[in-house]
């Protein structure tokens, strides 16, 4: 192996040099230095790429994946619709894991990514109109708007908002024209959801923590 061959090998895969290459670096001072630099760079690359994995993410994602085939989108929507009819009529239904709120969680787990992928360019003006119609405002302190769009949810068109908040990622589904008598909640798949009544409809909030949801609700109300 000559110097050029050695350096090619070191630039290609410095952690996988064979004994011949390592022997060359031992005998050839210039290539020895080159190898030292190459390994130094490699350590820098490895350090840089080694970002922390969010705590609990793996467990949540595995659970989501393993649970996925059990509930189809259709079943989730049907559950949502059935409850909406009941809740709209009675206006008083409350239970720990409300089906419409669960449908919100399923939306985030199964539909949201695809909705974002399929999205056409968003129109911020239509979001403002929908917020106005629903009877809420979306103040800047909610966090960064990462995505806005519309999507089918529980038999109606929801205005879909993805936020980056101080408490992590949150999804809002604005449901103008869908009044609600009481707040609905659910938690499943490592996510929490609340559907809060508003003057002109309701808004579903789906986030990692119920604390995050409470904070968002208080901001929506204070706005």
Partner 1 sequence: MAGRKAGFDRAVESYFGGLYRYAYWLCRNRWQAEDIVQDSLLRAWRAWPALREERALKSWLFTIVHREYLRAAARVPRTESDAGAEEAGYDPDPGGALDMEQALQELADDSREALLLQVLGGFTCVEIAQVLGASEGAVMTRLTRARQALRRKLGAAGGATGTVREPRTA
By the criterion CB under 8 A, which residues form the site for partner 1?
2-4, 6-8, 11-14, 16, 30-31, 33-34, 37-38, 40-42, 44-55, 57-58, 61-62, 64-66, 68-69, 109, 112-113, 116-119, 146-147, 162, 164, 169
CB closer to partner 1 out of 12 and 92: 12
Report the nearest approach of partner 1 to the CB of residue 47 (Å). 6
Count of residues for the chain? 223
Positions 13 through 52 that interact with Zn ion (CB under 5 A) = 28, 31
Question: SS3 string of 51-104?
Answer: CCCCCCHHHHHHHHHHHHHHCCHHHHHHHHHHHHHHHHHHCCCCCCCCHHHHHH
d(CA 111, CA 60): 17
CB neighbour list of residue 118: distance below 8 Å, 6 or more residues apart = none
SS3 call for 205: strand
Our CB check for Zn ion shows the closer of 25 and 203 to be 25
- The nearer residue to partner 1, 26 or 90, going by C-beta atoms, is 26
In the bound complex, what is the minimum distance in angstroms from residue 186's beta carbon to partner 1? 19
46 binds, among partner 1, Zn ion, none (CB under 5 to 8 A by kind): partner 1
Nearest distance in Å: CB 65, partner 1? 4
Distance CA 198, CA 168 (A): 24
Please say whether the beta carbons of 108 and 191 come within 8 A. yes
Q: CB nearer to Zn ion: give 27 or 63.
A: 27
Q: Does residue 3 interact with Zn ion by CB under 5 A?
A: yes
For the bound state, the minimum distance from the C-beta of residue 3 to Zn ion, rounded and expressed in Å, comes to 3
HSE value, Cβ hemisphere, 13 Å, CA-based, for 203: 30
- Closest by CA position to 201, among listed 218, 223, 180, 171: 180
Which of the listed partners (Zn ion, partner 1, none) does 57 bind, with a CB threshold of 5 to 8 Å by partner kind? partner 1
Q: Which residues bind Zn ion (CB under 5 A)?
A: 3, 28, 31
């Amino acid at each position: 192996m000559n110097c050029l061959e050695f350096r090619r090998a070191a630039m290609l895969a410095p952690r996988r040099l064979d004994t011949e290459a390592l022997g060359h670096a031992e005998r050839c001072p210039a290539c020895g230095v080159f190898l030292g630099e190459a390994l130094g760079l490699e350590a820098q690359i490895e350090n840089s790429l080694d970002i922390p994995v969010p705590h609990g993410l793996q467990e949540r994602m595995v659970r989501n994946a393993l649970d996925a085939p059990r509930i189809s989108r259709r079943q989730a929507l049907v559950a949502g619709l059935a409850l909406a009819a009941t809740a709209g009529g009675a206006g008083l239904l409350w239970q720990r894991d409300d089906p419409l709120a669960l449908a919100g969680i399923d939306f985030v787990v199964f539909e949201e990514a695809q909705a974002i992928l399929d999205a056409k360019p968003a129109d911020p003006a239509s979001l403002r109109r929908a917020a106005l119609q629903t009877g809420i405002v979306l103040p800047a302190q909610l966090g960064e708007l990462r995505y806005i769009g519309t999507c089918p949810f529980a038999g109606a068109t929801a205005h879909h908002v993805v936020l980056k908040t101080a408490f992590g990622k949150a999804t809002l589904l604005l449901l103008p024209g869908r009044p609600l008598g009481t707040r609905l909640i659910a938690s499943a798949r490592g996510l929490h959801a609340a559907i809060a009544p508003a003057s002109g409809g309701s808004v579903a909030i789906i986030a990692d923590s119920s604390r995050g949801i409470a904070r968002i609700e208080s901001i929506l109300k204070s706005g």
